[in-house]
């Protein structure tokens, strides 16, 4: 089960995203009807929770549980860490995005096209935001990093962090080359937060808030 969970997170999940490499996602999302968009988002929610259930079952069989990944009881300080990290990472990544645009690698901006319209659409996006924050942080930070460090017998966190960040970025290739680079860097920043706190809740909170912020992007 350990190898199955790692294969899903490092090969299957990124591989599904890489299948569409080269696709003009801007045009695709712009022409997508609200019904199809909602179906796509709900399918994504179910897919990510399915991966979470596999990770959960694996940690149960391994005898560590989710607490062994760093999912410890939620504390108020976790909100402070998460909010502070979100604001700091937003400033850093915005600066990097500006620099990349100057050298010919602008962000394509698909995220704003993925946010559905209407009350129901906004509720679905809130669910998407929490699902991504919770399931992806448990998977890419908690599970991938901890298991790679053990199985690879790494003394430190460098290589588990890099591998996790590349896989995380590969799952977002629909945002183009610039999006992949920035999200991989974002993944490294999440890794640093995870290592610093030893907890997943700050990462989950920051990740969820970041995605939730797409509700306020201009369309």
What number is the average pLDDT over the span 59-87? 96
Closest CA to 117 of 128, 125, 108: 125
What is the dihedral sign for C-alpha 85, 92, 208, 188?
Answer: negative
Please spell the DSSP secondary structure of 6-26, one letter per residue. Answer: HHIIIIIHHHHHHTTTT--HH
At residue 90, the pLDDT reads 92
Between these two residues, 179 and 108, which has the higher pLDDT value? 179
- Give CA–CA dist 219/217, Å, rounded: 6
At residue 19, the pLDDT reads 79
- What are the tens digits of pLDDT across the range 15-61? 988 776 667 677 777 788 999 999 999 999 999 999 999 999 999 99
Does the structure show a pLDDT above 60 at 76? yes
At residue 32, the pLDDT reads 84
Residues near 73 by Cβ (< 8 Å), separated by ≥ 6?
Answer: none
At residue 110, the pLDDT reads 63
CA 181 and chain centroid, separation:
13
Does the structure show a pLDDT above 60 at 219? no
- What are the tens digits of pLDDT across the range 119-174? 999 999 999 999 999 999 999 999 999 999 999 999 999 999 999 999 999 998 87
Which pTM value belongs to this model? 0.93
Does the structure show a pLDDT above 60 at 218? no
């Amino acid at each position: 089960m350990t190898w199955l969970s790692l294969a899903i997170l490092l090969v299957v999940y990124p591989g599904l995203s890489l299948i569409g490499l080269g696709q003009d996602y801007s045009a695709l999302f712009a022409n997508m009807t609200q019904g199809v968009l909602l179906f796509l988002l709900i399918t994504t929610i179910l897919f990510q929770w399915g991966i979470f259930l596999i990770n959960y079952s694996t940690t149960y069989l391994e005898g560590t549980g989710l607490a062994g990944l760093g999912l410890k009881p939620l504390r108020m300080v976790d909100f402070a860490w998460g909010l502070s990290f979100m604001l700091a990472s937003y400033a850093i990544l915005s600066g990097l995005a500006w620099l990349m645009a100057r050298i010919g690698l602008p962000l394509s901006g698909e995220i704003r096209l993925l946010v559905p319209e209407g009350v129901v659409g906004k509720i679905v996006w809130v669910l998407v935001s929490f699902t991504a924050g919770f399931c992806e942080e448990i998977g890419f930070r908690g599970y991938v990093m901890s298991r790679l460090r053990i199985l690879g017998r790494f003394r430190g966190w460098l290589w588990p962090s890099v591998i996790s960040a590349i896989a995380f970025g590969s799952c977002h290739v629909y945002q183009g080359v610039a999006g992949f680079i920035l999200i991989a860097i974002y993944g490294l920043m999440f890794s640093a937060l995870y290592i610093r706190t030893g907890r997943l809740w700050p990462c989950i909170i920051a990740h969820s808030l970041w995605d939730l912020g797409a509700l306020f992007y201009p369309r």
